Structures are given as structure tokens and as C-alpha cells.
Amino acid sequence: PPPPARGPRPLHPGPRRPGPTPTACDRGFFARPPLCRGPHPLRYPVTMPGRRAATDRVFSPRAWFKRAAAKVPTSAAGGILVGLFLVVTAAFGGLATAAPPAPAQVPLGTALTVNPFRLTVREVFTTDALTATGLAGAENGPYLVARVDAENVWEATLGTGDAPGGLASAVTAADVAVREGSLTEVYRADDARVASDLQPGVPVELYLAWHLDPGQPLPTQATLRFLAAERATGTLAVSGEYFDAPALEASGIFTLTHRSGPVLAKETAP
């Protein structure tokens, strides 16, 4: 028998059966995202035409920044701005360590206070010998000699040795070939004695001598460095106050003259 006649198909068919949710990988091959073309495609749901799913949204830095800024508490905004400022300045060297200031330059005749002394350099020269026969068995020159007015500005007696707080530690010679192992020698200018102690508040004229290397030519210029010691108070092994950690305070570059004869007029034993 002939098949039954069918009427026209309805324009709006009834509801379809529920099926699997369409995904982006269910589209045509050329319309698929690149992640769908591998052996294990990434499948994520899509919405109906005209609407975008969360995974299909175009990334907007401006919108992301607004959402992130809305989540930041007001109290932390200042710290974040300071952090951003430090990061930007660090990129241009803003956090680089500043170079230490150059030491002050001291000419002849200028008084300078380097804790715990007040010093005035009167003359700097070289010589072949301090005295005609030497002092206390000291060897003859050559010597670098500085004639200095010194005063102890502390309230107690201080020595002239190389230990911190001593005069020899406050004035050192540079840019000259000092004999290895030699110490700074300090003599009184009035009687040629070795100056061992400096009384507080009593100015005295001294000769500071550095034994030069005899195998090197005599220098024509020398640098004197002035170091200030830090006042400290003993707690355990040391009691009372003392001076420690000398640090460069100033320096002076002096042109040298040369004396062939003895410097100290008298030869009194120390």
C-alpha cells in the first residue's frame, strides 16, 4: 500500500531531548581553537550564539586592573604606592649606595681637631738624620718628618704610640715608601726627647718621623692622613673610657723640602 500522506512540517518543533552540552571542540575543524587539534583536546563549554562564555572573553588589562584595585583595602594602598616608587627608583639607580664624602684637605698652618687631639702641621720635609749620632740607637735616615703643634683635648693623659688613642695612630703617612716594620717616632722639639705622654690641655711642639726605605729615591711630595678615634666605654674586660676604631677625618698633600743636616738640635737621651 502507498505510504500515508504527511502534512507540512511545523515551523516550531517541540522541545528536543536533552543532549550533551556543546563545546568549542564540537565546531568545524577550521573553526576549532588550536587546543582542540591535539591528541587530547581541551573541551570547555560554550554558550549560545550572541553570548560569550567566561572562557571566550577577551582579556582586558584595564578591566583586570579595576577588579584587582577594587579588592585592595584602602589602608594598604599607601604601602603599595611606596613599594612601586622604590621599585621604579631602584631600576634607575636610586637605591645605590652613596659614595662616602671625600676627606677635608688641610693646608699648612691650619688647626684641625681629630679626637682626641688638636693638631696644626707647621712643616713637612725629608732628612738624612734626626741628630748627628741618632737617638737611643735609632738608625740614620732617610726620614720623613712633620713638625706639628699637638694638644691633648681629653681630660686624661694620652700616649704617643700607634695604639688607638695615641698620637701616632692619629697621623699617618701615605704615598711614600716607609721602611717595613718601622714605627712612627715622636720627639719633643724643645729638648729632643722621645715624647711618651701628652698632658691634657698642654700644647707642645713635636716632630713625627717615619723611617723611609733607603733603597727608594727620596719623595718630593707626601700625604698625611688624620684619623679621629671613637670614644668608647668598657663593659667586660676593659673598664673605664678609651678610644677605638680610628677613622679617616682629613688629609693633606704637602710638597717636601730636604735637609741634609740633623734636625734635632740637642741629643739628650730619652
- Per-residue 3-state assignment (H helix, E strand, C coil) for 201-221: CCCEEEEEEEEECCCCCCCCE
- Give the mean model confidence (pLDDT) for residues 144-161: 92
Using the predicted structure, report yes or no on whether residue 269 has a pLDDT greater than 50.
no
- Give the mean model confidence (pLDDT) for residues 126-148: 73
Q: What is the rounded CA–CA span in Å between residue 204 and residue 117? A: 11
Amino acid present at 103: P
| The pLDDT of residue 220 | 93
Which residues pair with residue 250 across a beta bridge? 104, 226
Amino acid present at 91: A
Q: What is the pTM of this model?
A: 0.60
Using the predicted structure, report yes or no on whether residue 51 has a pLDDT greater than 60.
no
Q: What is the pLDDT of residues 199-242, one digit of tens each?
A: 999 999 999 999 999 888 999 999 999 999 888 876 666 666 77
- Give the mean model confidence (pLDDT) for residues 150-158: 92
Confidence of residue 150 (pLDDT cuts 50, 70, 90): very high
